[in-house]
Structure 1
Amino acid sequence: MAAQGPGAPWVPRRVPGVPADCSSDDAHAVGRGPLPVLRQVAAACVCPQLLGDPALPEVARRRARRVLGEMDAGNIGGYNHEHRGLGVPARVARFLQRRDAGVPCHPRNVVLCSGTSSILPFVLSLLVDAGSAVATGVLVPVPGPPLLGGATGLAGAVAVPYPLDEERGWAVDGRAVREALRRARDTCHPKVLCVVNPGDPTGHVLSRQNMEDVVRLAAEENLLLLADEVQQERAFLPGRPFLSFKRVLWEMGTPLSSAVQLVSFYSLSKSVAGESGFRAGFLELVNVEEGVTLPFQLAQSIPRPCVLGRILLDVLMDPPDEGDPIQQALEEHRQGLLRDLAHNARLVQEVLGRAPGIRCRPVQGGARAFPRIQLPPRAQRQARALGLEPDVFFCQKLREATGITVAPGSQFGQPEGTHHIVCPLSPARLSLLPPAAMLEQILLALTRFHAAFLRQFS
């Protein structure tokens, strides 16, 4: 992997056993198997003949019978409005109350959807005044998921980026948000503040104090708070547990708890089951005015989840009964996932922490890391001569030399003058999901390549 001399061409050397694309945070795509009982319930609902087949565990058949009992004519092929509109939202509401230590949740405030990427543009479009000469502004974090900026554009609004504070573990900096607001108000009317927690691609989990500061800021600036909380079941550090913005808002008391408008998101893709292919999720509306909530009840164009996605979501949301085998399997699966993520996060810190020119903030949640890499001025000049961002240039050279695909931090946004890498599912970060042995190979290959890159371009 080392260069022949300052101007020598790169000689690709593949890393044995490492896939060409190791960047995904799709649990199943990187080899983490599905939870069998969820698929068994779905299979019995699709094919009721299996309800009498002892090849399926009785617990799965029993749950499938209950699901089918709520379907029109006991068949999943119908529209099944009652199951979608009453049954599943009621169980989601109970799930949210358990998650938030008893904070009330009414099923009417739960809206099922076919995933965050499909519902987000619809939500933002409800806040856009189409007749106004001034565009609606949506504050989005940098770094952050590209989905937020893309959805803002699709909704007819304008994305207003605000920087996260890398030196404080990617915290939301109120002063930076206010400065972004001040500049934006010359050209648009900011109405929404987007916050991603746990962070993506940064892997941070916000502290309660930081969340309270965000709530106060939203109240003072009259902003709707939009909380992307889809990674909530991947917060793996006991000392930094996930707290929902709804719970924090409620526990702050009046007048904030009844004044701040909040929309939060949950996705089956990033749940403990990691079932990305079934396209299901939900959002919860808190203190949201009727002009925004009414379209959710009336509009037929809302992207709804397919029936199988809704069934899996339903099983995950169902209140646990003591000794219930499905809940036991879910809990074992959840604890195994969190152990693996915590172990791999430590591995990332250990391997990258020993590498000169690479720095990675501690990862507390999610499934990726966002390390900062040093790139010599000569490499940056050569990249720009080719019309490339420097981190894009680095990632291309890494892929040519090792076969490893990671995404450049510039696709997610990054502090000016810095360069990062990420491994994509939605472009970027080092995935924490591959098996540990493979992850260690990837990290070691990355650090060796970076050292060679520094030598060649220094």
Structure 2
Amino acid sequence: MLHTTVVGNGSSKTITLDNMNPNIKTMEYAVRGPLVIRATEIEKELSAGSKKPFTEVIKANIGDAHAMGQKPITFIRQVLALISFPELIDTVNFPSDVKAKARSILGGCKGGSAGSYSDSAGIEVIRQHASEYITKRDGGIPSNPDDIILCAGASEGIRATLKLFIEQDASHPPTGCLIPIPQYPLYSASLAEYSIYQAGYFLDESRGWALDIKELERTLKEAKTKCVPRMLVVINPGNPTGQVLTRENIEEIIKFAYNERLFILADEVYQDNVYADGSKFHSFKKVMMEMGSPYNGMELASYFSTSKGYMGECGLRGGYSEVINMDAKVKAMLLKSISAKLCPTVLGQAAMDCVVDPPKPNDPSYDLFIQEKTAVLKSLASRATMIADTFNSIPGIKCNPVQGAMYAFPRITIPQKAIDAAKAKGQQPDAFYAFDLLENTGICIVPGSGFGQYPGTYHFRTTILPQPEKLKIMLDKFKDFHVQFVARYS
């Protein structure tokens, strides 16, 4: 018998909040949460002529580089133009390597059109280029194109891996996954959706957001009383914390995962975004392989994206996962699972091809490509320093150096009166602070409670992506606001 619910206007609905999937109600995604909804409303109010203490909303809540004024990389956009409208190849005065790249991608498309479906794992020539890129990145350690799965942004690759671990048997304890705290909300949201137990291990803020093996051991021991831990997520460089793991630390993590039989998910989408002197990106795969037996036989999935790095092509949804040492029968199931989505967007795959197989020395596009890439990364490094230095100059705010990625995660001291006011409104204190900031300055950040934080501490995440002039304005406004906020609630 079909169950329906009669609502106030007399109509009936088959699905309601009472009978829908409870996991969807549980999941939260802070970077697109209530603050962003309010920020969008304020933008509409400004457009309608409403008077505010500011003239624009600065959305520092999400790592969307182009939305914050970053210019696209010419080579990527020229290739996309040609594969979108191939008639231009023989008529437009684009560099020869751009035309060759477009022909190569179109040659891998069925019917020679980017509008056709690709294989579910992606266009073969692009997977080949991705494996060559990884081999070069890792100093010659080979990568197999059959281990590469192109995806609609790294997020889809991560979610495809997590789904493999869903267990339906209610008589067994749930599967558990260790994730860093603070974490990127993709993980907490996806784990909630898939009924996978979230076991959060705290990063050590006092040591630059270091990952302590003793904390992993503590978290695992506690998790084993509530679930069967099977996965370990590591984000390197870190989001939202911006730390870059040392090689020694990665070796410790690998040994821990081996001893505890944990599948490693290595989120490495910010591998091009390393700024601090002495910091260097090391891929988990490279370190595992160089450690030799038995570690080189461990199961690992790593992820990369066109959305970050120097590219910032978020809307194109390009990414890949490299899945190594997975049981062949399970891998076949993974490929079957992704086939239900048909294929990732072909334009996103093409953008990824430009990243993993960029112009080479002596190619006509090379000089401009290197110039643009270098300028973006140099500017991001400068902004990473500016944002940490400015926050550390404000009484009551403390910010670790931004070693990499695209974010700062400062700690704020919130007066007790403000904490009480937040509780009276049913809000977390850092969310109360963030809403007040938005209404008074137009700056949209994400409260630390959306990422997880050590009990009794308050933080927020902001991107370093506003262009330098806009970032200076934002930071000046932030400084004035914080001083006034503290005075108001002291």
- What is the TM-score with the length of structure 1 in the denominator? 0.91
**Is the aligned partner of 1:233 residue 2:272?**
yes
Moved more, 118-127 or 93-102: 118-127
Q: Which residue of 1 aligns with 2:132?
A: 94
1:248–1:385: structure 2 CA closer, same or farther, 3 Å change rule?
Answer: same
Name structure 2 gaps, 5 residues minimum.
Answer: 1-50
AA aligned to 2:113 is: N
Deviation at 1:53, TM superposition (A): 1.6
Is the 1:119–1:302 contact (alpha carbons within 8 Å) kept by the matching residues of 2?
A: no
AA aligned to 1:453 is: F
Residue 144 of structure 2 is aligned with which of 99, 106, 124?
106
**Is the aligned partner of 1:67 residue 2:105?**
yes
Q: Give secondary structure in 2 for the equivalent of 1:233.
A: coil
**In 2: Cα distance, 1:312 partner to 1:273 partner:** 9
1:291-338 superposed Cα distances (whole Å, 9 cap, x missing partner): 431223334225632111111111221265331233443332221121
Q: Give secondary structure in 2 for the equivalent of 1:102.
A: coil
Q: Which residue of 2 aligns with 1:388?
A: 427
Is the 2:204–2:211 contact (alpha carbons within 8 Å) kept by the matching residues of 1?
A: yes
**Is the aligned partner of 1:135 residue 2:167?**
no
1:290–1:100: structure 2 CA closer, same or farther, 3 Å change rule?
Answer: same
Q: Which residue of 2 aligns with 1:439?
A: 471
Residue 327 of structure 2 is aligned with which of 278, 289, 294?
289
Q: Which residue of 1 aligns with 2:308?
A: 270
Task: Please show how residues 58-457 of structure 1 align to structure 2 within 5 Å.
Answer: 58-81=96-119, 84-131=122-169, 133-258=172-297, 260-299=298-337, 300-302=339-341, 304-318=343-357, 321-422=360-461, 429=462, 431-457=463-489
Is the 2:68–2:466 contact (alpha carbons within 8 Å) kept by the matching residues of 1?
A: yes
Is the 1:232–1:242 contact (alpha carbons within 8 Å) kept by the matching residues of 2?
A: yes
**In 1: Cα distance, 2:125 partner to 2:435 partner:** 49
Deviation at 1:13, TM superposition (A): 6.8
AA aligned to 1:50 is: L
Q: Which residue of 2 aligns with 1:30?
A: 68
Moved more, 385-394 or 38-47: 38-47
Q: Give secondary structure in 2 for the equivalent of 1:420.
A: strand
**In 1: Cα distance, 2:92 partner to 2:117 partner:** 30
Q: Give secondary structure in 1 for the equivalent of 2:266.
A: strand
Name structure 1 gaps, 5 residues minimum.
Answer: 1-11, 423-428
1:29–1:212: structure 2 CA closer, same or farther, 3 Å change rule?
Answer: same
Moved over 6 A (4+): none
**Is the aligned partner of 1:56 residue 2:88?**
no
Q: Give secondary structure in 2 for the equivalent of 1:284.
A: strand
- What is the TM-score with the length of structure 2 in the denominator? 0.85
**In 2: Cα distance, 1:160 partner to 1:453 partner:** 35
**In 1: Cα distance, 2:116 partner to 2:475 partner:** 49
Moved more, 39-48 or 317-326: 317-326
1:411–1:225: structure 2 CA closer, same or farther, 3 Å change rule?
Answer: same
Q: Give secondary structure in 2 for the equivalent of 1:249.
A: helix
**In 1: Cα distance, 2:175 partner to 2:107 partner:** 45
Q: Give secondary structure in 2 for the equivalent of 1:421.
A: strand
Q: What is the percentage of aligned positions where both structures have the same residue?
A: 35
Is the 1:263–1:283 contact (alpha carbons within 8 Å) kept by the matching residues of 2?
A: yes
Q: Which residue of 1 aligns with 2:20?
A: none
Deviation at 1:270, TM superposition (A): 1.4
Q: Give secondary structure in 2 for the equivalent of 1:112.
A: strand
Is the 1:71–1:83 contact (alpha carbons within 8 Å) kept by the matching residues of 2?
A: no
Is the 1:146–1:411 contact (alpha carbons within 8 Å) kept by the matching residues of 2?
A: yes
1:118–1:81: structure 2 CA closer, same or farther, 3 Å change rule?
Answer: closer
**In 2: Cα distance, 1:410 partner to 1:202 partner:** 13
Is the 2:160–2:334 contact (alpha carbons within 8 Å) kept by the matching residues of 1?
A: no
Moved more, 398-407 or 362-371: 398-407
